Chain A
Amino acid sequence: MSTFFEYLQSSAVGQLISGSDHLVGAAVQIVHIAGIILLLTAVVLVALRLLGLGLREQSLAEVETLARPFLWAGLVATVISGTLFFISTATIYAPKGALQIKLVLLVLAIALQFGLVRRLVNHPASKALTTGGAIASLVLWFGVGLAGRAIGFT
């Protein structure tokens, strides 16, 4: 596995970022943060609506339609910029616990968002399931963010 990370890091893409001006790294960081804001905004909009705490005069479907482009734009921006970071620093970051936790939480968050949350929007369910799903999505997505923030400090 570590040979694979070494290969990634020494690849053309890996060298492109780590070998260039640190402002290229800063630009990738800005894409990442913009993606985080868009993604979390979409998650918050849908969760608040499911909880009956925000935009409750709009239908669930209306809020989901509003949030969907933000969710996708955020996912694409964060995953692409995050992958670029990872490729350029794979050998250092791959063994980090915070990154591993982040990736597990990310997979769970995506599964919950496209499994349960989307279903709750289209098919009304019991209040307990709706509330639980909304809170779980907030906890998981903000958990991804916090774990991500912890990577640089570990």
Chain B
Amino acid sequence: MSSILQIAQALQGSSFGTAIAESTIVFPLIEGVHLLGLALSFGLLLIVDLRLLGLVLRQVPAAKVHDQLRSWIFAGFALTIVSGILLFLAEAADVVFNYAFIAHALFIVVGLANAAFFETRLAPRAAEWGESLKLPAAARLAGAVSLSSWIVVVISGRLVPYLA
């Protein structure tokens, strides 16, 4: 435990971490990117997840929805994750044992693992789903897991300053 704290303190105390934390413009800007980038990452992923669950764009094959939004979702997650890492570097020791932050980090792993499973195991077979409205149970489950884990990630992220 203490070694985790030491690493976190070293990160936060590094010249890079301190520079971000102390900048009155860069820090709020990174927070802004972290929040607003969610419109691309989680927001567009929400559309794909809701399609997997058969709740939106039912007239369009799920694979078609996913293929058209995939690169935007990846770009959005790149923005969100990079800005999140920068915020963590600036506040590592303050948040590393914060329960909200621990839940945030844990559910990011769940969300990413689910996305990796979907991309490698399910998406390659998406052509077989064709025009069908109701997708195989595995695809619907992946949509539900994605939706719920990212909702927890967003809520726990916002709660970090409240559970400090």
- List A residues at the B interface (Cβ < 8 Å): 22-23, 25-26, 29-30, 33-34, 36-38, 40-41, 43-45, 48, 53-58, 62, 66, 142, 145-146, 149-150, 152-153
Contacts and interface: CB of A to CB of B under 8 A. Distances in A.
A66 B48 CA distance: 12
Nearest to A22: B162
Nearest to A150: B28
Interface stretch (B36-44, B111-119, B121-129): B36-44
Given A26-B159, A58-B60, A66-B57, A37 B28 contact: no
A149 B43 contact: no
B94 interface: no
Interface of B: 24, 27-29, 31-32, 35-36, 38-40, 42-44, 46-47, 56-57, 59-60, 64-65, 68-69, 72, 154-155, 158-159, 162
Given A55-B68, A57-B64, A149-B28, A40 B39 contact: yes
Given A54-B68, A54-B69, A44 B35 contact: no
Contact of B72 (A30, A48, A62, A152): A48
A44 B68 contact: no
Nearest to B68: A55
Contacts of A36: 35-36, 38-39
Given A37-B38, A149-B35, A57 B43 contact: no
A88 B59 CA distance: 45
